[in-house]
Amino acid sequence: MRVLAVLLLAAVAAPAATFYVTISGLGGEADYDQRFKMWAQDIDSSLKKAGTPDPDIVTLIAPTREQIRTHFASLASAVKATDNLVVVLIGHGTFDGVDYKFNLPGPDITGAEISTLLDRVPSARQLVVVTTSSSGGSIEFLRKPNRIVIAATKAGTEKNATIFARYWAEALRDPSADVDKNESVSALEAFRYAQRKTKEFFDTQKRLATEHSVFEDTGKGTGVAAAAAPDAAADSNAAEGRLAASFTVVRLGANAAASKDPAKKALLEKKEELEQAIDQLKYEKASMNAEDYKKQLTRLLLELAKTQEEIDK
């Protein structure tokens, strides 16, 4: 009865918030400056249209390292242990074989320092999307249990400017990114959408792909392509993609409308908790008694149906 017990505890807990930080780095040229800023503002706009409260969204355009430190210090005080955090880095990055750096006006910020800043924010789950060149080199610094790390490149050696951020931003407003049609886009769905669109861009342009996106969400790996992520595993704690699939990045359609209604927002969060509990139960099926699994699944599905009915009223 473990899954159901966890669900019931979550249902009576205070509603969790998700805080978003999008950082557009140093372009170096006017074209890149404009491009990075545009993608960051696109993300900002999508989050606001989805009903995310303005105070929970911060978009920093070409900040200094000190400005980033200051903002994360504020986050460390404001974010609760039950909250979620989404950080997106857009711009240029470098990797010299030892250190990853995100390019900023003035001194750059290293992957190790970004990790330290993230560690100080007591959020239950974190999503970090590093869309820069050489971003694959950041994974070893950023990976951690309960943290999803997405990188535009599979290694620090892919040094060309990337376009992954363009399609990540697009995934947050394109209904086709919502593959399971639950009117929410998960981190894994957004990743797969941006990965597919990036590949299509290079194929259409008949150019050799210079970026190959990967993700890591167990805190133990080096990054995998979405196609390699299993849909289920006997050991749920070791399954790449499980956390990313359960992490809602943005809500669409009726879910976005419900999130703007205080009376329905708690119900919507309960619905998402139930969906996550069902997914978790499916991962644990192989190690469970068949009858116990059937009982828990039935209870969760009934509760999900009742919650959806309340939302639809």
Interval 123-150: pLDDT, tens: 989 999 999 999 999 999 999 999 999 9
CA distance 214 to 154: 6
Residue 1 pLDDT greater than 90, yes or no? no
Residue 230 pLDDT greater than 70, yes or no? no
The pLDDT value given to residue 12: 38
From start to end of 64-143, where are the E strands?
Answer: 84-90, 93-95, 100-102, 109-110, 125-130
Residue 226 pLDDT greater than 70, yes or no? yes
Q: How confident is the model at residue 271 (pLDDT cuts 50, 70, 90)?
A: confident
Q: Facing residues of 186 across strands?
A: 248
More confident residue, 191 or 260: 191
Mean pLDDT for the chain?
A: 88
| The Cα angle at residue 186 between residues 51 and 1, in degrees rounded to 5 | 105
Residue 14 pLDDT greater than 60, yes or no? no
CA distance 282 to 300: 12
CA distance 92 to 87: 16
- 83-87, 101-105, 249-253, 286-290: segment of lowest average pLDDT: 286-290
The pLDDT value given to residue 247: 93
The pLDDT value given to residue 310: 80
**Nearest CA among 204, 148, 147, 194 for reference residue 174:** 194
**Nearest CA among 64, 62, 68 for reference residue 21:** 68
The pLDDT value given to residue 236: 45
Q: How confident is the model at residue 58 (pLDDT cuts 50, 70, 90)?
A: very high
List own/partner pairs for 103-109 with CB under 8 A and 24 or more apart.
Answer: 103/25, 103/26, 103/28, 103/132, 104/25, 104/26, 104/62, 104/63, 104/64, 104/65, 104/68, 105/26, 105/62, 105/63, 105/64, 106/64, 106/65, 107/64, 107/65, 108/65, 109/65, 109/68
More confident residue, 197 or 265: 197
Residue 231, burial from CB neighbour count under 10 angstroms (0-12, 13-18, 19+): exposed
**Nearest CA among 137, 129, 139, 189 for reference residue 164:** 129
The pLDDT value given to residue 254: 78
More confident residue, 51 or 250: 250
Cβ pair 42, 48 in contact under 8 A:
no
More confident residue, 312 or 207: 207
Residue 285 pLDDT greater than 90, yes or no? no
Helix, coil or strand: residue 184: strand
User: Which of the 8 DSSP states describes residue 275?
Assistant: H
The pLDDT value given to residue 234: 38
Positive or negative CA dihedral for 151, 118, 272, 274? Answer: positive
The pLDDT value given to residue 8: 42
Residue 253 pLDDT greater than 70, yes or no? yes
Residue 43, burial from CB neighbour count under 10 angstroms (0-12, 13-18, 19+): buried
Cβ pair 147, 217 in contact under 8 A:
yes
DSSP letters for 139-173: HHHH-BTTEEEEESSSSTT--S---HHHHHHHHTT
Alpha carbon 198 to chain centroid distance?
Answer: 18
CA distance 64 to 52: 26
Domains and CATH numbers, the chain: 16-254 (3.40.50.1460), 255-312 (no CATH)
